[in-house]
Structure 1
Amino acid sequence: MEFIMFPIIFVGLIVLLSSFFTVKQQTVVVVERFGKFLSLRNSGLHLKIPVVDRIAGRVNLRIQQLDVIIETKTKDNVFVKMKVSVQFKVLQEKAYEAFYKLEYPHDQITSYVFDVVRAEVPKLKLDDVFERKDDIAVAVKRELNEAMTTYGYDIINTLITDIDPDIQVKNAMNRINAADREKTAAEYEAEAGRIRIVAKAKAEAESKRLQGQGIADQRREIARGLVESVDVLNKVGINSQEAS
């Protein structure tokens, strides 16, 4: 009798323990009864009827990030690869919609990102794509929010984290930038040379002015000395003609 009771007790214990389950923080568990939705369970310890009830799945409520790589063409026929990072989460009050209405959320988000980026980028030239990447990100976020809210998803943010043109285009851009820098350096060098020439000319002019002023002062002093000498001779009875 005891031999028979032991397996029964063991099985009963297993069934009892399987009735309890825990839900982690920032997670929602979907419970079904005979394949039909029963309830959503939030974090904590919960009880379900063994065999009758089952855990159909778990919905993550934490913020997630999906990186989408897109290759598209700009208005000036330049192919670029863009990396769009989408940060999203499931709304707790819409966990039912997120679990049952959308089977592959990442694929759905990727499709919308492709659609928006390939609609916006061909309107812009390559330089404008770099300058207006935030506008493109806003357009992606707006489109995603309109589409994904129905399925219980909230788009937190969209970021264009990388714009990578074709290698030949990047090389050409580098050459253009190098040429612009050389041109700017040449302009600065020419301006410095002009300043040096002007400064040198001003210095020479000032030197000659001071030299002329020195000669004039010297002659003035000589003339003053002669006048004083004549005055002295006149005082002793020698006239100017005799002095000359």
Structure 2
Amino acid sequence: MSAYGYEIVQTLIVDIEPDDRVKKAMNEINAAARLRLAANEKAEAEKIIQIKRAEGEAEAKYLSGLGIARQRQAIVDGLRDSVLGFSVNVPGTTAKDVMEMVLVTQYFDTMKEIGAASKSTAVFIPHGPGAVRDVATQIRDGLLQASFGSDSKCV
């Protein structure tokens, strides 16, 4: 236009119409970027869910352990009270006699619960006077070994 005496300094272009292939390529680039972002967000959400699930399971196991510990402590306290009460009320009995009687009672309670459980298919438990005595001996020996192990010092 300078041949006609005009100088164009700046031009405002309002409507650009690129080729259809260029438009399609740009749309695919934008779609791919959004899909990549969505995949990252989804993976992050799954990671958070797994972490929260693991934390929940850990807390549940911890609380279950506390419950079992409290249950065992209550059993021990109850056994101690039973042994003391029985020994006082029945002259001539020793704590050992009472504990053996309690063990026999628990042995029969355990057998009853195993038999009553709907999911039990087959359980082989030695039964008879000797078997009960063996169970009592094994429990007593285990307690003595545990007591001895905690009292002795490792060198």
Give the TM-score normalised by structure 1: 0.34
Deviation at 1:169, TM superposition (A): 2.1
Q: Deviations over 1:107-133 (max 9, x none)?
A: 95xx51xx545xxxxxxxxxxxxxxxx
Deviation at 1:226, TM superposition (A): 0.5
* Pick aligned residue for 1:171 from 4, 24, 39: 24
Deviation at 1:167, TM superposition (A): 3.1
Gapped runs of 5+ residues in structure 1? Answer: 1-103, 118-158
Residue of structure 1 in register with 2:82 after alignment: 229
1:204 aligns with 2:31: no
Deviation at 1:181, TM superposition (A): 0.7
- SS of the residue corresponding to residue 165 of structure 1 reads coil
1:185 aligns with 2:26: no
Structure 1 Cα separation of the partners of residues 96 and 49 of structure 2: 56
Deviation at 1:182, TM superposition (A): 0.7
* Pick aligned residue for 1:242 from 97, 120, 127: 97
Deviation at 1:160, TM superposition (A): 4.7
List structure 1 runs of 4+ shifted beyond 6 angstroms.
none
Bigger RCO of structures 1 and 2 (CA < 8 A, at least 6 apart): 1
Report the residue type matching 2:64 in the other structure: Q
Residue of structure 2 in register with 1:217 after alignment: 70
What's the RMSD between the two structures over aligned residues?
A: 2.6
Structure 1 Cα separation of the partners of residues 10 and 19 of structure 2: 21
Structure 2 Cα separation of the partners of residues 241 and 173 of structure 1: 88
More helix by share: 2
Residue of structure 2 in register with 1:73 after alignment: none
* 1:1-244 pair list within 5 angstroms: 108=6, 112=8, 116-117=10-11, 160-236=13-89, 237=91, 238-244=93-99
Report the residue type matching 1:224 in the other structure: D
Deviation at 1:176, TM superposition (A): 0.3
Structure 1 or 2, whichever has the larger Rg, is 1
Aligned length: 94
Gapped runs of 5+ residues in structure 2? Answer: 100-155
Structure 1 Cα separation of the partners of residues 96 and 37 of structure 2: 74
Structure 2 Cα separation of the partners of residues 243 and 190 of structure 1: 61
Structure 1 Cα separation of the partners of residues 68 and 45 of structure 2: 35
Structure 2 Cα separation of the partners of residues 200 and 164 of structure 1: 52
Structure 2 Cα separation of the partners of residues 216 and 197 of structure 1: 28
Report the residue type matching 1:240 in the other structure: A
Structure 1 Cα separation of the partners of residues 85 and 55 of structure 2: 45
Structure 2 Cα separation of the partners of residues 242 and 169 of structure 1: 95
Give the TM-score normalised by structure 2: 0.50
